[in-house]
Amino acid sequence: MTKPPSPPTGGGALVLKDLVKTYGAERVVDHVSAAIRPGEFFSLLGPSGSGKTTTLMMIAGFATPDSGQILLDDADLTRTPPQQRGLGMVFQNYAIFPHLNVFENIAFPLRARRVPDTEIRARVNDALALVRLDRFAHRFARQLSGGQQQRVAIARAIVYQPPIVLMDEPLGALDKNLRYQMQVELKDIQQRLGMTVVYVTHDQEEAMNLSDRIAIMNHGRIEQVGAPGTIYETPTNAFVARFLGEANLIGGEIVAIETGIATLKTPDGLLLSAPAGQVRQGQRAVLFIRPEKLFCGTDGTQGIVRRRSFLGNIIRLSVEIGPDTHLTIDQANTGAPAPEPGQTVTVGWNAAHALMLAE
């Protein structure tokens, strides 16, 4: 397909130690710590205002933390100006220089490092091949599609083989189909080069698809760090459960814990059981279960189907199991008939798929 890419460069290890950043009265980043491993794809995922971009800007050097440390392969970068950090960065709007062609855009970081011309040519051509833009070297940004501009930005960020590549919502401006395609390409490039990537996004699907580990951020803090599967299946709190994918979260009070199984009583009097996790007797808590883990069977909780939504690949049911308690059920659209609204169904789930979370 294309020339073989440059050999894997290996990524750096990045340690964030207790970072704090305050703007005015607002603490935007509140004691953030993380250890990012060499070659890891690490995402900061959170709603807007959660401090993920500020954290990234502190890593890049465009913001200085009030306290805390940033270590790259054990060297302290906390007060190093951005131009001396040697990190790669992909911006949300690509930040492609409009007056330079694709070749010169990608050559820019090499020229800043006074790399000889012959080497610049070789390395830019390698980078162009890697992002499959060989034929576009002499185009300008305005002559490129969004996806192509995105590839230029990525090539420019990796051409000088930085130890860490930072990406700030790099796919945010692309439409949904192209975004998925670019995710696949990005992941492929990252794995081939063995890069360490710190990736900021508010798109949970994107984060799950790309990341080795995700840090879920909220109000300037990291709520949970882990592999996508781990966070998705066993969130540590209701915010994480709600933010990553769809979740049924039924509030109530823990009335009993027996052999690791807690029983929760809802305000409308239902009794529901699930693995206790960290909750204690008498505590307010939520029962967490993913909609796709619920099924209509013969054994479980009785309810009435109140709504049925056709979402293409899934059929989503809203089932009333108590006067004030609804469960969302996602059924794969396998062609089997789905229950009609008004129909009484029995909702079941595997006990291991549910979890009690402290509120």
Partner 1 sequence: MTGRRQTMLLMLPALAMLLLVFITPLGWFFQQSLISDPDAGPLWDTIVSVVTARAVLQAIVTTNWISLLVTATVLLLGYPIAYYLANNRGPRFTLVIFCIVVPYFTSIIVRTYSWMVLLGTHGLVNQALLATGIVHTPVKMLYNQPAIVIGMTYVLLPYMVLTLYAAMKTIDPTLMRAARGMGASGAMIFRRIYLPLSMHGVISGALIVFILSIGFFITPALMGGPSDVMIAMLIERSVEITVDWSSAAVMSLLLLAVTLVLYAIYYRLTDIRRLMGA
Sites of contact with partner 1 (CB under 8 A): 60-62, 81-89, 91, 93, 95, 97-99, 108-109, 111-113, 142, 156, 160
CB proximity list for 282: less than 8 A, separation 6 or greater: 253, 254, 255
Q: Which is nearer to partner 1, 168 or 330 (CB)?
A: 168
- Spatial separation of the C-alpha atoms in residues 11 and 262, rounded to whole Å: 44
Q: Which is nearer to partner 1, 41 or 160 (CB)?
A: 160
Q: Which is nearer to partner 1, 86 or 275 (CB)?
A: 86
3-state DSSP assignment of residue 231: helix
Q: Which is nearer to partner 1, 60 or 338 (CB)?
A: 60
How many C-alpha atoms does 301 have within 13 Å on its Cβ side?
Answer: 18
How many C-alpha atoms does 181 have within 13 Å on its Cβ side?
Answer: 11
Name the maximum alpha-carbon separation found in the chain. Answer: 76
- Spatial separation of the C-alpha atoms in residues 120 and 107, rounded to whole Å: 6
Q: Which is nearer to partner 1, 57 or 287 (CB)?
A: 57
How does strand 325-332 pair with strand 314-322? antiparallel
Q: Which is nearer to partner 1, 91 or 295 (CB)?
A: 91
Contact 45, 199 (CB under 8 A): no
Q: How far is the CB of 120 from partner 1 (least distance, A)?
A: 13
Q: How far is the CB of 171 from partner 1 (least distance, A)?
A: 17
Q: How far is the CB of 78 from partner 1 (least distance, A)?
A: 16
Contact 211, 218 (CB under 8 A): no
Contact 144, 152 (CB under 8 A): yes
Q: How far is the CB of 133 from partner 1 (least distance, A)?
A: 18
Q: How far is the CB of 48 from partner 1 (least distance, A)?
A: 18
Give the number of other CB atoms < 10 A from CB of residue 18: 12
Q: How far is the CB of 202 from partner 1 (least distance, A)?
A: 19
Give the number of other CB atoms < 10 A from CB of residue 98: 9
